[in-house]
Amino acid sequence: MTERLDLQGRHLVLGLSGGIACYKSAELARELVKAGATVQVVMTEAACRFITPVTMQALTGRPVITDQWDARAPANMAHIDLSREADALIVAPASADFIAQLAQGRASELLALLCLARPRQGCALLVAPAMNREMWSHPATQRNVAQVVADGALLLGPGHGAQACGETGDGRMLEPEELRDAVIAFFQPKVLQGKRVLVTAGPTFEALDPVRGITNLSSGKMGFAIARAAAEAGAQVTLVAGPVHLPTPASVSRVDVRSALQMHEAVMAVAPAQDLFIATAAVADWRPAAAATQKIKKDGSGRVPAFEMTENPDILASVAGLPAGQRPYCVGFAAESHDVVRHAREKRLRKGVPLIVANHGPATFGQDDNALVLVDDAGESEMPRADKLSLARALVAQIAQRLPHAHT
């Protein structure tokens, strides 16, 4: 698959204030450029003590601006011209002192002046704090952060972990990949703003004995992509995940389960409070009636153990059967091995849901791309093969158009 250019056409100003986290800003600049953005770097005098403008220029292909009197700007007004061209101004790292300047409206050098002079309706301000844990937790810093957010800035982080001073706690700047994804998320249409969304993802594991079980090849990638896309679209997302090894998408609340029974319990506990339920998980239809308490051993006879199976509860149908007023808008997934559309039509009617998203399971399990067919009352519509996150965003946009009919 070709690399996604999620920031294609975006022009960003990346501001660096003083702090050891400046070393991460180099990688952040690289990631933003790789995502398709043009990046103009502005550095404070203190930032230049930690990383050189030459490094940032090499990574962005643009001369770095450090002086408000830079004669290259028309009429020597860099603080005006730089922000008028930008879609967003990202300050990473934002030191405690720099955040204090923002809160107080001070502008002692170019970067703070640029933040103050930016057109607030056209150039967003994204702030990534980076400082010692004691500095971050200090009441003055917390007051300043609250003021900066109240004034319209978006706070990115901070993270928690080991700090350059040798201490551990809150105050680390988020990692470059996390900041890149946060910038990408900022520009996604907020078609689910304020909605509560529940997503299931991955396989389930039905134990035969303490070490063996029945599962399937689902990787969970599609469900995790949908959870991320829904969060990017402004939703409050809960993700119920089977046994997979995938990082939790930013701003998503994750519940880990193992079996179909556990997934059913986790889903039904929160489903009535949701606006939208997207059942992406590949849930086992059956489970052993009783799992052995010890490992089942071969006895040399050649006889294969017989297992009595029992049917698992139908999670999607259970949610779709909730009373009116407690029933979210339900979207099911159908991973089929043949006759994909026919089986999806039948599944939609059997489950009693308005929308089924169908795909060919063997062609998508474990892969990074997929192709989907949407099946609803109006018929079928295809979503051509693409990477799973791009498909997830397109699917979320499709679902958002149907949501006025939720809670039927």
pTM of the model: 0.89
Whether the per-residue pLDDT at 78 is higher than 90: the answer is no
How would residue 397 be classed by pLDDT, with cut points 50, 70 and 90? very high
Whether the per-residue pLDDT at 43 is higher than 80: the answer is yes
Whether the per-residue pLDDT at 365 is higher than 70: the answer is no
How would residue 217 be classed by pLDDT, with cut points 50, 70 and 90? confident
pLDDT value at position 1? 47
Whether the per-residue pLDDT at 340 is higher than 80: the answer is no
Q: Which domains does the chain have, with CATH numbers?
A: 11-187 (3.40.50.1950), 196-294+302-405 (3.40.50.10300)
Whether the per-residue pLDDT at 390 is higher than 50: the answer is yes
Contacts of 56 (CB under 8 A, 6+ apart): 14, 16, 25, 26, 29, 41, 43, 64
Collapse the DSSP code of 61 into the 3-class scheme (helix H, G, I; strand E, B; otherwise coil) and give the result. Answer: coil
First to last CA, the chain: 39
Whether the per-residue pLDDT at 299 is higher than 80: the answer is no
What is the average pLDDT score of the chain? Answer: 90
Question: Considering the chain, what percentage of its residues have pLDDT values greater than 90?
Answer: 67
Cβ proximity of 344 and 358 under 8 Å: yes
pLDDT value at position 363? 55
Q: What are 225's two structure tokens? A: 């992509």
Q: Which of 144-148, 165-169, 346-350, 393-397 has the lowest mean pLDDT?
A: 346-350
Residue 165 appears among annotated catalytic residues: yes
Average pLDDT estimate for 169-189: 96
Q: Which of 85-94, 153-162, 208-217 has the lowest mean pLDDT?
A: 208-217
Whether the per-residue pLDDT at 186 is higher than 70: the answer is yes
Average pLDDT estimate for 85-96: 96
Whether the per-residue pLDDT at 372 is higher than 50: the answer is yes
pLDDT value at position 2? 56
Cβ proximity of 374 and 383 under 8 Å: yes
How would residue 119 be classed by pLDDT, with cut points 50, 70 and 90? very high
Give the residue with greater pLDDT, 308 vs 197.
197
* Residue with the two structure tokens 């134990």: 207
Whether the per-residue pLDDT at 405 is higher than 60: the answer is no
What distance in Å separates the CA atoms of residue 16 and residue 26, rounded to the nearest whole number?
10
What distance in Å separates the CA atoms of residue 127 and residue 93, rounded to the nearest whole number?
8
Q: What are 38's two structure tokens? A: 């043009």
pLDDT value at position 407? 44
Helices 388-402, 221-232: crossing angle, 10 deg rounding: 60
Q: What are 377's two structure tokens? A: 């009352």
> Active-site residue among 22, 115, 123, 165?
165
pLDDT value at position 69? 73
pLDDT in tens, 121-139: 999 999 999 999 999 999 9
State the DSSP string of 294-356: SPPPP-SS-PPPP--EEEPP-HHHHHHTSPTTT--EEEEEEEESS-HHHHHHHHHHHHT-SEE
Q: Which of 36-45, 105-114, 173-182 has the lowest mean pLDDT?
A: 105-114
pLDDT in tens, 17-42: 999 999 999 999 999 999 999 999 99
DSSP state of 19: S
